[in-house]
Structure 1
Amino acid sequence: MDWASRWIRWPDFWLPSDRDDARAALHEAWERAAGERVEVACGGGRGRTGTALARIAVLDGVPPAEAVAWIRAHYDRHAVETPWQKRYARTPPD
């Protein structure tokens, strides 16, 4: 089975190394999710995954200021682990 994938350079507990590439990848995931299953993952499934999911939730209409709380309520209560991940998750889309 052919499984499309996209890798984002994103150190554990930090932010994406290339924010433009991350923005494009997360937008692509959001667009693809309308018609197919999309999975987002990192090593622990909380910090980077939660932050990415919060950014995708904002693209889908969740207000940026509520993105972290929304992901914690609907995915994992410990998602988005660091202050800088929280700030990044709450950033309005371009």
Structure 2
Amino acid sequence: MENWDENTAGVLRLPSGRLVRGRGLRYPLAPGAPTPSYALYLLGRQPPAVSWEFHWIRWPDFRLPADRPAARAALSEAWERAAGERVEVACGGGRGRTGTALAALAVLDGVPADEAVGYVRAHYDRRAVETPWQRRYVRRFSGTAGAET
């Protein structure tokens, strides 16, 4: 499977070189825009069907994942798959929940947890990770497999 073009809107390059696209689902893809091979959708309710494989995490707007161990497992899978697939992470607007998840992926990729929000804000969206509890979630997120968040 082909990976993202680094110049595609919303694509974040992690320090390892993995590319992940963050997106707001409120904004439809442009005709002919590349589609993911795998997506992680962070929404309060089940997302609509798409033609690619996806995983849904129940994650209400401005909040944290309802099931944190399941979210950690899904984020770990997305990080693993990003090594060779086009992985997309998306919520409604593409900033709060998406930014939080991208920051967690950065931690999994080796960015220190206390620097991950800054990394995502510098390389993805300066307004990513919107709430104090989302920032705290990232600070407490561990790059160690099986660790609690």
The TM-score by the shorter chain falls in which range?
Answer: over 0.9
Aligned partner (choices 118, 124, 127) of residue 78 of structure 1: 127
Task: Render the CA deviation track for 1:32-71: whole Å, top value 9, x for unaligned.
Answer: 0001110000001000000000000000011101000000
Indicate the structure with greater strand content. 2
Q: Normalization by structure 1: what TM-score?
A: 0.96
Instruction: Find the structure with the greater CA-based Rg.
Output: 2
- Measured in 1, the distance between the counterparts of 2:77 and 2:139 equals 19
RMSD (Å) for aligned C-alpha atoms: 1.2
Q: Is there any run of 5+ residues in structure 2 with no aligned partner, and where?
A: 1-36, 38-50
Q: Is there any run of 5+ residues in structure 1 with no aligned partner, and where?
A: none
- Measured in 1, the distance between the counterparts of 2:108 and 2:73 equals 12
- Measured in 2, the distance between the counterparts of 1:39 and 1:89 equals 19
Measure how far apart 1:72 and its partner are.
0.1
The 5 Å alignment of 1:4-83 reads: 4-83=53-132
- Measured in 2, the distance between the counterparts of 1:53 and 1:65 equals 14
1:5 is matched by which residue type in structure 2?
F
Q: Aligned pairs, how many?
A: 94
- Identity of paired residues, percent? 74
Aligned partner of 2:32 in structure 1 is: none
Measure how far apart 1:3 and its partner are.
1.2
